């Protein structure tokens, strides 16, 4: 647990305002590489951290063949086995190929796990338009009557960056994305303990 916490700390909020992203990313990358991992979830987190810090963390848009292969391998794992890094890998891989879809039900079934497909079991699909977007977007959704919901947006590291409350009285929710930096994000719409839908959001400027 301590190793997982250390990996998450290393990967979030460490880009200091007193140093350039490149210098800070190099320092965090060195600390990340020193952590010894023994479990798949830890190894995934460490690998995704390494790729992020060597690319987006240094304002580099190109991924090497090895980085692309590593992200694809992690992105194609069952999230319940590979951990939150699976979603982070998918967000980063979307910068390489945003047309890839993941069959979590089948990926998890290979491990004997029944994974509830959010889109198939949702009251209706949720979507954000336009997508990609720049400074503003609108969430389209549908919830059971007299229910409230939540839209949460996560960055490529799995860190929550936006949260908005939703009402069943409406089916559209406009929100600003002006404070989000360019890149790939993952969003989840839920109502109470029930997940309504999930998807990718691209910010392009």
HEC profile of the chain: CHHHHHHHHHHCCCCCCCCCHHHHHHHHHHHHHCCCCCCHHHHHHHHHHHHHHHCHHHCCCCCCHHHHHHHHHHHCCCHHHHCCHHHHHHHHHCCCCCCCCCCHHHHHHCCCCCCCCHHHHCCCCCEEECCCECCEEEEECCCCCCCEEEEEEECCCCCEEEEEEEECCCCEEEEECCCCCCEEEEEEEEECCEEEEEEEEEECC
Q: Give this prediction's pTM.
A: 0.54
Nearest to 196 by CA among 141, 153, 158, 131: 141
Query: pLDDT higher for 36 or 172?
Result: 172
Ordered by where they begin, the domains of the chain are: 2-109 (no CATH), 118-203 (2.60.40.1930)
CA–CA separation, 72 and 88 (whole Å)? 11
Edge-first strand listing for the sheet containing 160-167 = 160-167, 148-154, 183-191, 194-203
Count of Cβ atoms closer than 10 Å to residue 108 Cβ = 20
pLDDT tens, position by position, 12-27: 444 443 344 444 556 5
Highest mean pLDDT among 59-73, 119-133, 183-197: 59-73
pLDDT tens, position by position, 25-84: 565 556 556 656 568 888 998 899 899 888 887 888 899 999 999 999 999 999 888 988
């Amino acid at each position: 647990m301590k190793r997982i916490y250390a990996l998450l700390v290393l990967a979030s909020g460490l880009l200091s305002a007193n140093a350039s992203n490149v210098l800070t990313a190099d320092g965090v990358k060195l600390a990340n590489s020193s952590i010894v991992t023994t479990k798949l979830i830890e190894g995934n987190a460490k690998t995704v951290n390494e790729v992020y810090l060597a690319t987006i963390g240094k304002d580099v848009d190109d991924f090497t063949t090895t980085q692309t292969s590593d992200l694809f391998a992690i992105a194609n794992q069952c999230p319940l086995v590979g951990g939150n890094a699976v979603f982070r890998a998918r967000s980063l891989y979307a910068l390489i190929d945003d047309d890839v879809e993941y069959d979590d039900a089948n990926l998890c079934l290979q491990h004997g796990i029944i994974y509830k497909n959010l889109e198939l079991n949702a009251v209706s699909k949720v979507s954000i338009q336009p997508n990609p977007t720049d400074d503003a977007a609108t969430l389209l959704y549908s919830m059971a009557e007299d229910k409230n919901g939540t839209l949460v947006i996560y960055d490529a590291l799995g860190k929550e960056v936006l949260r908005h409350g939703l009402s069943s009285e409406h089916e559209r929710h406009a929100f600003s994305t002006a404070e989000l930096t360019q890149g790939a994000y993952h969003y989840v719409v839920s109502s109470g303990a029930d997940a309504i839908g999930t998807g990718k959001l691209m910010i392009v400027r």
